[in-house]
Amino acid sequence: MNLGLYIHIPFCHRRCSYCDFYLTTNLKLINDFVDALKQEIILYSVKYPGSTIDTIFFGGGTPSILESTHIDNIISCIKNNFNVIKSSEITIEANPEDILNNTSKFAGFRKSGINRISVGVQSFIDKELSFLTRAHNSTEAYQSLEISKSIFDNVSADLIYAFNEQEMSDVEHNLNKILNLELNHISAYTLILEKGTLLYKQFEQNKLLNIFDKDNPQFYEFVNTTLINNGYIHYEVSNYAKPGFQSKHNIKYWDFDYYLGLGPSAHSFIGNERFSNPKSLKKYIDKLSLKTLPVENIESLTPKGLKNDYFVSVLRCNGVKFEQYKKLFGSEFLEDYRDVVDRLLVLSLAGLDNSVFKLNEIGYALADEITLSFLK
Ligand code: SF4
């Protein structure tokens, strides 16, 4: 079985106002966490013997908080217990301040096998970074990407747009910085107001009433046009890459391939099951110290649930591959959904060839609404 490995590193120096990921700012448990993670890797290698790993993604949280010896230990443990193919894509997410404060650590990451870095720059404008409560400023954002490029061949940056007092000229400024740096990959997201975050509380108290009064479709179109005109492929609703630099790991999620999530709060999808780890570092460490997998929330998908999940995933990216659909559901996609497909073709929101049905640029912008017409 082929698997992508997602590893959730649940530590951050502090929590950003818009973030609802599971994490802790107490860094004392890092060593215990790494020991537990290695135990989890070993237990899964016994549960899924002979599995091949072709992508590894260190996400978080802030994986760049870890020392290079931690990352080296973790990658060695994976390689000792799984068949990791040589050309595997191995990504680490990093924050600009970590790159600037300890550049040699990143050279260590590279030596340990990390071959792709995804930097959470979010913006190159100081007032935007302050609004997002990020720890870095615009100069540091730029410098961190220059340093990343000097160490890694495959560099991605995250951008957030369409929020607060942002103008189109601000989005243009941020995109120009990215274009100057000639990065291989960009993830560009609009800001989502998540319940439970500080930003949400401020919004509820009417302190940030203007936060979502921006015309998102206009911003989205501007981001699209600028990046596509500069040689990027728009390969997923929010992701753009130079040819050959699409994220292999993230495409696994959108192609409905199997992935195994390690670390607290991480999710997995294998067979017809989805399962996740507890959102508690303590529970996670305690379970693994007893050599027990910390899995909770196991969901066996019904045929209907599986199909709904399939559409939610594939329509955002590479579309419905007819062969895969038949293998999964035992019937012909075009026979099952001819009316919906015809409607989307007439509206010029999608394209169709002998083997794939896929949304186009305009369809991507409406992916959520279009997906609803496939759900039963
Ligand atoms: S650095 Fe990233 S993971 Fe950590 S709090 Fe900020 S947004 Fe969340």
Mark whether 42 and 154 lie in a shared domain.
yes
Q: What separation in Å is there between the alpha carbon of 18 and the centre of ligand 1?
A: 8
Q: Are 130 and 97 in contact (CB under 8 A)?
A: no
Confirm or reject: Cβ of 135 under 6 Å from ligand 1: no
Q: What separation in Å is there between the alpha carbon of 330 and the centre of ligand 1?
A: 42
The two three-digit tokens of residue 355, written as one number = 């083997």
Q: What separation in Å is there between the alpha carbon of 32 and the centre of ligand 1?
A: 21
In a domain, 293, yes or no: no
Mark whether 19 and 105 lie in a shared domain.
yes
Q: What separation in Å is there between the alpha carbon of 12 and the centre of ligand 1?
A: 6
Mark whether 105 and 33 lie in a shared domain.
yes
- Residue whose token pair is 């935007």: 128
Number of domains in the chain: 2
DSSP string computed for 222-265: HHHHHHHHTT-EEEETTEEE-TT-S-HHHHHHHTT--EEEESTT
Mark whether 31 and 105 lie in a shared domain.
yes
Ligand 1 atom nearest residue 14's Cα: 5
Mark whether 55 and 136 lie in a shared domain.
yes
Mark whether 9 and 146 lie in a shared domain.
yes
Mark whether 53 and 164 lie in a shared domain.
yes
Confirm or reject: Cβ of 191 under 6 Å from ligand 1: no
Ligand 1 atom nearest residue 18's Cα: 7
In a domain, 18, yes or no: yes
Nearest Cα residue to atom 2 of ligand 1? 61
In a domain, 127, yes or no: yes
Pick the closest to residue 113 from 81, 144, 79, 80 (CA basis).
79
Ligand 1 atom nearest residue 134's Cα: 6
Ligand 1 atom nearest residue 120's Cα: 2
Beta bridge partners of 119: 94, 157
Q: For 208, phi and psi rounded to 5 degrees?
A: -130, 50
Q: What is the CATH number of the domain that holds 131?
A: 3.80.30.20
Burial 249-258 (b: 16+ CB within 10 A, else e): bbbbbbebbb
Confirm or reject: Cβ of 15 under 6 Å from ligand 1: yes
Mark whether 222 and 341 lie in a shared domain.
no
In the sheet with 239-241, reading across from the earlier edge strand, the strands are 233-236, 239-241, 185-190, 155-161, 116-122, 83-94, 52-60, 2-9, 259-262, 267-270, 273-276, 296-300
In a domain, 307, yes or no: no
Confirm or reject: Cβ of 174 under 6 Å from ligand 1: no
Query: Domain range holding 84?
Result: 2-254
Mark whether 155 and 230 lie in a shared domain.
yes
Per-residue pLDDT of the chain (376 residues), as tens digits, is 999 999 999 999 999 999 999 999 999 999 999 999 999 999 999 999 999 999 999 999 999 999 999 999 999 999 999 999 999 999 999 999 999 999 999 999 999 999 999 999 999 999 999 999 999 999 999 999 999 999 999 999 999 998 888 899 999 999 999 999 999 999 999 888 888 898 888 888 877 656 665 567 889 999 999 999 999 999 999 999 999 999 999 999 999 999 999 999 999 999 889 999 999 999 999 999 999 999 998 999 999 999 999 999 999 999 999 999 999 999 999 999 999 999 999 999 999 999 999 999 999 999 999 999 998 7
Last residue within a domain, chosen from 199, 228, 254: 254
In a domain, 223, yes or no: yes
Mark whether 324 and 224 lie in a shared domain.
no
In a domain, 301, yes or no: no
In a domain, 347, yes or no: yes
pLDDT at 210: 63
pLDDT at 218: 87
Mark whether 322 and 201 lie in a shared domain.
no
Last residue within a domain, chosen from 204, 233, 254: 254
Confirm or reject: Cβ of 120 under 6 Å from ligand 1: yes
Last residue within a domain, chosen from 234, 254, 274: 254
Q: Are 30 and 11 in contact (CB under 8 A)?
A: yes
Q: For 269, phi and psi rounded to 5 degrees?
A: -140, 110
Mark whether 246 and 331 lie in a shared domain.
no
In a domain, 124, yes or no: yes
Q: What separation in Å is there between the alpha carbon of 234 and the centre of ligand 1?
A: 25
Confirm or reject: Cβ of 19 under 6 Å from ligand 1: yes
Q: What separation in Å is there between the alpha carbon of 136 and the centre of ligand 1?
A: 12
Q: What separation in Å is there between the alpha carbon of 279 and the centre of ligand 1?
A: 16
- Residue whose token pair is 């007032």: 127
Confirm or reject: Cβ of 359 under 6 Å from ligand 1: no
